[in-house]
Amino acid sequence: MSKLTKVTMLFIKASTFVLSLGLVAPSLASDNSAQDQLQAQSHEQSNALSGYFKVGYGYKYEISPYEDEISKLSLFVNGRYQWHGFFLESFYGANERSEGVSVGYNFYNTESWSFDVNTVHAHGETKVYVVDNQQSFRQHRDSTNMLGLRATGNFDDITAQFMVAPYSFNDENDDGLFASAWLGKAWYIKNWEIYTSVGVKYYSEDFLEYYFELREEIATENFSAYSPDAGVDVIGQISASYPISEHWLFETYGKFVDISSEITDNPVMEFVSGLKERNANTTEFGILVSYVF
């Protein structure tokens, strides 16, 4: 079966799942005339340029198995602009989902749900160089950006989001599947906004093999051969923000990622997780001041 055929089949399945979320939403219980009016309003809004841009600067602390501990002043960028259904998003802000820059098209909306085709930064670049007694090996893997279907639902102070991404722009990692699901809720206490969210990121077996498989021909005495199965990261986040003025915002956040054991059981990952400035899971904290344009 060709790559194009497999991707087409996955997109059909993903489309059925994602679109079904909107079809079962209570908002579709209204009569046809009300729904037609809603769609006309959504289409008119999507044709106008709309969005926001937020830049922040402050302290960031992060420890993970992927790089040395970070503890420094950092720049935070977050924003989204949409025009005629096409949009550009940046997820480098406080309490964001670390999905990088995303481009896409908003193709359908209901009262509570929006449906997009868009890109997602599924995994970053990895570089491994191991020297084990008289043996050594290098392994370099490029970052993987993918294309998929996304459904976002907004219900008062609760937000739900689901994404299935079957197409990879990385030709060396083109058989994998990435998916995610998020649930968030906001609380308002006087001028404070408290936001919490939990999420999961799913990586198929083929996807994780590209990054974390150690083949027999490169295995060493202390870094034995390893092949992962499919895995799931579990993420919890909490943030608080307070408006200083019309455009200025104080923000603080914390995030914890329970990284899949299919990743952390890799012999190289086990080793680096034990280093002084690394950890088996990811913990992140930030405090900053942001300007909203």
Conformation bin of residue 35: beta by default, left when phi > 0, alpha when psi is -120 to 50: alpha
Three-state DSSP at 189 gives strand
- DSSP state for residue 11 in the 8-state scheme: H
The radius of gyration of the chain from alpha carbons, rounded to an integer in Å, stands at 21
Domain residue spans in the chain?
3-292
Comparing CA positions, the residue from 118, 124, 106 lying closest to residue 203 is 124
Q: How far apart are CA 194 and CA 73, in angstroms?
A: 23
Alpha helices in 24-69 (DSSP H): 32-46
Tokens for 66, please give them.
Answer: 């992927």
Q: How far apart are CA 217 and CA 111, in angstroms?
A: 55
pTM of structure: 0.84
For residue 100, give the H/E element and its range. Answer: strand 100-109
Q: How far apart are CA 95 and CA 200, in angstroms?
A: 15
Strands 158-168 and 192-203: unpaired
pLDDT tens sequence for the chain (293 residues)? 554 454 445 444 444 444 444 444 444 333 434 344 444 444 455 568 899 999 999 999 999 999 999 999 999 999 999 999 999 999 887 766 767 799 999 999 999 999 999 999 999 999 988 888 878 888 899 999 999 999 999 999 999 999 999 999 999 999 999 999 999 999 999 999 999 999 999 999 999 999 999 999 889 989 999 999 999 999 999 999 999 999 999 999 999 999 999 999 999 999 999 999 999 999 999 999 999 99
CB 165 within 8 A of CB 146: yes
Instruction: Please provide the CATH number assigned to the domain covering 3-292.
Output: 2.40.230
CA dihedral 67, 71, 75, 79 (to 10 degrees): 60
pLDDT computed for residue 115 by the predictor: 98
